[in-house]
Amino acid sequence: MKRFSALSLGVLLVLLLVGGVFISGCTTTQPTPTPTTVVTTPPTTVAAEKPKLLIATTTSLYDTGLLDYLEPKFESMYNVDLQITSQGTGKAIEIAKNGDADVLLVHSPAQELKFVEDGYGINRRSFASNYFLIIGPADDPAGIRGMTPEDAFTTLLIKGSNNTAGVVFVSRGDASGTHTAEKGIWSKAKFNYTTGVQKSGAWYVEAGKGMGETLQLASEKKA
């Protein structure tokens, strides 16, 4: 009997609830709403990604540390993400030709002019200049101190080809601006670089490296 009463009460409550739903849908009297608290969450703001500006430059300029110093100042001023890659001038130009660089900072006028003439670049500006030096051991084993660059190169080639002790020449050998300048001196000295200098003997070493590493190699070899 108790079980039946409980069941009946449950059915009655369900009917009342259902009836309440239908009644509230049919009556014109609106029930008093229960006060509720609405909590709003401010929309999440997604920071806009900064545009990237890729600079391809030379190892010589990069090794000075100047770009590291200027980078945060430039990014703050122009709200960009500055990305820098350092290569020899030749490789830096190839990167730009492939469309993978926005700005070039290089130092080989002949290559730069051809780059622009071929339609790859615009707005070429000169903002600095280089001085190329022939360096070597203080005791000057090749005896070239005081010579013109052309005479010094000629002496190095002759003595190197004759296996003169202590005579070694280390070239960048990487199609960089410095390497291009070197080949220009060989040409002025009346030598064919490809057939008369490159791979002409153990005296001529191609580093295939940036400026810093080439200088280290020259120091190690006392070249």
What is the Cα Rg of the chain in Å? 38
- In order of their start, the domains of the chain are 52-117 (3.40.190.10), 149-221 (3.40.190.10)
In the chain, which stretches have pLDDT less than 50?
Answer: 1-29
Phi and psi dihedrals of 209, rounded to 5? Answer: -125, 175
SS3 labels along 81-114: EEEEEEECHHHHHHHHHCCCCCEEECCCHHHHHH
Q: What's residue 141's pLDDT?
A: 93
Q: What's residue 192's pLDDT?
A: 97
Q: What's residue 3's pLDDT?
A: 39
Q: What's residue 132's pLDDT?
A: 87
On whether the CB atoms of residues 53 and 83 are closer than 8 A, the answer is: yes
> Can you say how many angstroms the Cα of residue 168 is from the centroid of all Cα atoms in its chain?
33
Q: Model confidence over 68-79: pLDDT tens digits?
A: 999 999 999 999
Q: What's residue 152's pLDDT?
A: 97
Q: Model confidence over 9-35: pLDDT tens digits?
A: 333 233 223 333 333 333 344 555 555
Q: What's residue 210's pLDDT?
A: 87
Closest C-alpha among 151, 145, 149 to residue 132: 149
What is d(CA 63, CA 203) in angstroms, rounded to the nearest whole number? 27
Residue with tokens 């090749």: 142
Amino acid at 200: S
What is d(CA 106, CA 37) in angstroms, rounded to the nearest whole number? 65
Phi and psi dihedrals of 187, rounded to 5? Answer: -65, -40
Q: What's residue 214's pLDDT?
A: 94
Q: What's residue 99's pLDDT?
A: 94
